[in-house]
């Protein structure tokens, strides 16, 4: 089974790219400030965005960029999946939440607790886009293109799955976002989704 790359997106070190082209001009913004600037630039109207953690915000911005030219947006799709990988997962939110329960006032934050699972980002993307296929998040010890491709191809073995948002999103804290996310199509015409393709794109835009 092969998957073709239809589009790819990078959010990293002030970069916001789609297929190698700048989505917007960015100066001095990083982390969640960069994501908020992207939200405004894209003209989104999705108030829930501002309640999200950095990981979910990065996922929403990446998916909006990848899907911006797609026809029939927001039509329920059984054949679309979301499979993402991360190193830190929801660790930043776990730390924020722990602070609310160890504080002298002891007031656990429900708003933070919602995001103390690493798969919330895939759920947010699926909900936003009405994707009804697989929604999975994996925490790896490091950025591992071979493992990303292996698991992604396994997910494409589902006969219902034709399209997938897949890739790497890592937010160790609110000031750092590292995302390389792809829009893939089973047996599509684009460049084959491979560990070599992931590595080349990632290195070219460090």
Question: What is the helix (H) or strand (E) element at residue 191, kind and residue range?
Answer: strand 191-192
**To the nearest whole percent, how much of the chain has pLDDT over 90?**
67
Q: Where are the alpha helices (DSSP H) in the chain?
A: 31-42, 54-67, 91-102, 110-113, 120-129, 145-155, 195-204
Residues 66-80 pLDDT 10s: 999 898 889 999 999
User: Is residue 91 over pLDDT 50?
Assistant: yes
Q: How far apart are CA 170 and CA 61, in angstroms?
A: 14
Residues 131-169 pLDDT 10s: 999 999 999 999 999 999 999 999 999 999 999 999 999
Number of DSSP helices (H) and strands (E) in the chain, helices first: 7, 8
Asked if residue 169 lies in contact with residue 84, where contact means CB atoms within 8 angstroms, the answer is yes
Which residues are bridge partners to 173 per DSSP? 176
CA nearest to 122, candidates 56, 197, 204? 56
Residue with tokens 């829930």: 48
Ordered domains of the chain (ranges, CATH):
3-204 (3.40.47.10)
Mean pLDDT of 26-44: 89
């Amino acid at each position: 089974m092969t998957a073709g790359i239809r589009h790819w997106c990078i959010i990293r070190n002030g970069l916001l790219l789609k297929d190698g082209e700048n989505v917007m001009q960015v100066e001095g913004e990083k982390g969640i400030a960069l994501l908020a600037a992207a939200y405004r630039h894209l003209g989104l109207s999705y108030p829930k965005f501002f309640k999200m953690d950095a990981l979910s915000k990065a996922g929403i911005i990446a998916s909006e960029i990848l899907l911006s030219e797609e026809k029939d947006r927001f039509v329920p799709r059984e054949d679309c999946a979301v499979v993402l990988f991360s190193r830190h997962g929801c660790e930043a939110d776990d730390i924020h939440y722990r602070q609310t329960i160890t504080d002298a006032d002891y007031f656990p934050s429900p708003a933070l607790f919602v995001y103390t699972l690493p798969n919330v980002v895939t759920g947010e993307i699926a909900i936003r886009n009405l994707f009804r296929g697989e929604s999975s998040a994996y925490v790896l010890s490091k950025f591992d293109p071979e493992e990303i491709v292996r698991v992604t191809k396994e997910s494409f073995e589902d006969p219902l799955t034709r399209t997938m948002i897949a890739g790497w999103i890592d937010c160790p804290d609110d000031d750092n976002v590292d995302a390389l996310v792809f829009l893939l199509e089973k047996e599509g015409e684009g460049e084959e989704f491979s560990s070599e393709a992931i590595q080349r794109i990632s290195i070219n835009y460090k």
